[in-house]
Chain A
């Protein structure tokens, strides 16, 4: 089909999924059936679902590892695991949860939801989106490749040198971790670029920057943060690999290198990353909680600004992970103070959620329970974080179970609880079926009580001086009973997670069919059918407020959004490009279709990293050349995307 028009005034029309125009859209947007179509798809909904499912599989793997650790620690002097097995298990537990679950699951939510929230038909770069998923999957497999043969990463997820240097850890364990993290960094980076451009360029007309849902603010902030943080860790791991395999001396103190450089680079990345894995989850709560409180979020602007402020401050607090490393006291004071300042934007968000519940009319659904539980856990995790921001207290508590308790309250509390609540909330949109509410409430109470039984006593263990990362402990230290309680709590918590997964499987088959808007929610994704058609919206909506579907009930301004009538854009794969701040239409974007290029490129990039691991120069050279050729083919200008001079031939 030769596309020959170079500009056009979009047709504004009223249309539904049954309109003839929607039949055209379906033809343009639906992928091919079969395995080929499955491998080639660039549909953001498909990629989002894959991200979430893959991340949940890693959550289960990481959870089983944690249970093994807890069985080992349940009593003193246990010998279930050898010290080496224990080291690999706690390292892979951390790597899995932090890198292969926590961010990818949120990327999954945002990939699925963003175009629906923004009133668009896909992400700005659909093929890059597919690449981001495939590289994530292959990097995850890569990181596990040596673990399955008993040589997994074993120096903890922050992998300090000189423990991780060749002299003290000669096996492939650390090389796999180092190269795997560089590969995973590529996935995170291209995914973040995609979110940023999607926000800047593909919102529905009228969705000015002060009308986007908070989840979008959260993921945008996380993405910008990743863009500036991920290079630090990729570089650190690459330098470590070079130190180990090429003979450089970056971290080698015998030749002028500095082990502390590792800690600086790692935490310059690590702390912004903490916010990257919680801000989008906080966004889930800020968007979904108001639905169950039957009122808009209290303090939208304050919460949006708090989100951004948290990340900005998050770049200036990395040294609070290094208080015990002998840095000058003055700098510790500065970083301690900066860490405490983060309490302010965090408290702004907490009070906004509490006020939303307080002044609303809460409906106690399973999802609501998860969100409300999250607020409580966030406060507990925040307080213990505030405590360790005080330098003297941190000197006492660092490397004890107090820090383990803190980070689990923060990461499970702020990531897992909102994510599970978010699944209850958006499951009907994704699958067209509601999840079982009764089982949902059971799963919440089991998870919530199990979580607190498992992790609250860890604070006490830390205060009693139990160090983290020890594979066993002597009896008579007074830690035995508390550890047994922690282990019991961990299994109760795992049972709660199991109930949640059982609910998913039961509801997929037997859940009550869901309408387009089963919760009577306010944002755009609920205006299209459940599950949404391949093209998302029969017409591009026009947005006039933050709560397009609640406008009839809210006397805010005169403007009314239009969700039934809008730009048709049904000539092939099209969506509207809008301006950064005001979201005024300024270009009709031609979107690329399904392609094998992302999968091929992910495979060749992975092959290049495998070749590096095996010291195969030829293998690396071939993989690099194929990657370059694939990218040239991928980027080849296409007339159908109007990238080429159109008068030509």
Chain B
């Protein structure tokens, strides 16, 4: 491999004068956290987290101006939300374990992690669907219901995008694209999945815990 690279590169001869080679070799292309995409995902998460901050700001702003009880129909029950939260956290944990695998050169472990997180994510979505259909109010009932469906809906949209990422990554891992040396795309997708989990914790705390705090 290296011989071919050297014989292919005609530049050594062409770049006539003053050739000096620095001692250190540098990796080429997208490698781990050196990939531009890694930084790009950090900026995407920053702006998306801000979006949720503004959503929750709207919630608290409208809650603080509410006349009468808040939430109007009482604090939402925890029967589905708590197991859903635990499932989402479990998904992040297995994903972390899967990423650990590819860092150690085990694509199989990454595939198991991706598949498990995918199943857990779909389960979360299904539970959210049940939760939604069981609510005593509709989107247009009042401002609380508007907030509830919009904010949890925004989060579900992010779960769906995250699941699409995981599914595509599963496919790419199956194609043998990733190794211990090259797996930026997987790390970037996994980071997004962790973000989806963490943002849910903020949404969960806002809707399910703060009404119970007094």
Residues of A within 8 A of B (CB): 3-15, 19-21, 24, 124-125, 128, 189, 192-194, 196-197, 200-202, 227-228, 230-232, 234-235, 239, 242, 246-250, 252, 255-258, 261, 264-265, 268, 565, 568, 570-571, 574, 577, 585-590, 628, 632, 635, 637, 641-648
Contacts and interface: CB of A to CB of B under 8 A. Distances in A.
B17 A14 contact: yes
Contact of B40 (A5, A197, A261, A587): A197
Given A9-B23, A11-B12, A642 B29 contact: yes
Interface string B147-181: 10010000000000000100010001000111101
Contacts of B31: 587, 642
A232 B58 CA distance: 10
B146 interface: yes
28 contacts: A3-B29, A5-B2, A6-B181, A7-B25, A8-B25, A10-B26, A13-B15, A20-B15, A128-B40, A193-B40, A196-B39, A227-B43, A230-B47, A235-B58, A242-B146, A246-B140, A250-B58, A256-B62, A256-B66, A264-B61, A587-B27, A587-B29, A588-B27, A590-B29, A643-B29, A643-B182, A644-B178, A645-B176
Given A19-B15, A193-B40, A258-B65, A642 B182 contact: yes
Given A9-B21, A635-B185, A642-B28, A249 B142 contact: yes
A258 B64 CA distance: 11
Nearest to B12: A11
B5 interface: yes
Nearest to B31: A587
A647 B181 CA distance: 10
Given A197-B40, A587-B34, A646-B182, A6 B28 contact: yes
B179 A258 contact: no
Interface string B49-78: 011011101100110011100001000000
Given A11-B15, A21-B14, A250-B62, A4 B4 contact: yes
B48 to A, nearest CB: 8
A237 B106 CA distance: 46
Nearest to A1: B8
Closest 5 CB pairs of A and B: A642-B29, A247-B140, A256-B143, A248-B146, A645-B179
Contacts of B172: 637
Nearest to A231: B51
A589 B1 CA distance: 20
Nearest to A205: B22
Given A637-B185, A647-B179, A9 B51 contact: no
Contact of A14 (B9, B18, B144): B18
Given A577-B34, A632-B168, A646-B181, A239 B58 contact: yes
A325 B29 CA distance: 54
Contacts of A230: 47
Main secondary structure of the interface of A (DSSP, over half): mixed
Interface of B: 1-2, 4-5, 9, 11-12, 14-31, 34-36, 39-40, 43-44, 46-48, 50-51, 53-55, 57-58, 61-62, 65-67, 72, 139-140, 142-144, 146-147, 150, 164, 168, 172, 176-179, 181-182, 184-185
A398 B142 CA distance: 34
A166 to B, nearest CB: 13
Contact of B176 (A234, A256, A641, A648): A648
Given A7-B26, A124-B40, 9 more contacts: A5-B2, A9-B26, A125-B36, A197-B39, A256-B67, A256-B142, A637-B185, A642-B182, A643-B184
Contacts of B15: 11, 13-15, 19-21, 568, 570
Contacts of A239: 58, 150
A307 to B, nearest CB: 19
Contacts of A246: 139-140
Contacts of A641: 29-30
A594 B72 CA distance: 55
A571 B168 CA distance: 30
A12 B54 CA distance: 49
B156 to A, nearest CB: 15
Nearest to B51: A231
B11 A585 contact: no
B150 A588 contact: no
A47 B182 CA distance: 31
Nearest to B47: A227
A540 B120 CA distance: 48
Contacts, number: 219
A589 B184 CA distance: 13
Given A6-B28, A8-B26, A227 B20 contact: no
A325 to B, nearest CB: 13
Given A124-B36, A248-B146, A565-B18, A228 B50 contact: yes
Contacts of B66: 256
Given A9-B21, A10-B26, A239-B150, A644 B36 contact: no
A365 to B, nearest CB: 37
B143 A252 contact: yes
A400 B182 CA distance: 61
A348 B102 CA distance: 51
A637 B177 contact: yes
Contacts of A7: 25-28
B54 A268 contact: yes
Contacts of A588: 26-29
Contacts of A6: 27-29, 181-182
Given A20-B14, A588-B28, A644 B142 contact: no
B132 to A, nearest CB: 15
B43 A648 contact: no
Nearest to A128: B40
Given A250-B58, A250-B146, A258-B65, A12 B20 contact: yes
A264 B58 CA distance: 9
Nearest to B188: A635
B14 A19 contact: yes
Contacts of A9: 21-26
A227 B142 contact: no
A21 B160 CA distance: 47
Given A19-B15, A586-B34, A641-B30, A5 B182 contact: no
A202 B144 CA distance: 46
A568 B11 contact: yes
Given A24-B11, A258-B61, A227 B46 contact: yes
Contacts of A644: 177-178, 182
Contacts of B36: 124-125, 197, 201-202, 577, 589
Contacts of B27: 6-7, 587-588
Contact of A12 (B19, B26, B185): B19
Contacts of A643: 29-30, 35, 177, 182, 184-185
A637 B147 CA distance: 38
Contact of A571 (B9, B21, B140): B9
Contacts of B34: 577, 586-587
A637 B35 CA distance: 12
A40 to B, nearest CB: 20
B11 A255 contact: no
A157 B31 CA distance: 45
A478 B181 CA distance: 77
Q: Report which residue of A200, A202, A232, A577 has the largest number of chain B beta carbons within 10 angstroms of its beta carbon.
A: A577
Contacts of B30: 590, 641-643
Nearest to A643: B30
B143 A257 contact: yes
Nearest to B107: A645
Contact of A228 (B5, B18, B47): B47
Nearest to A577: B34
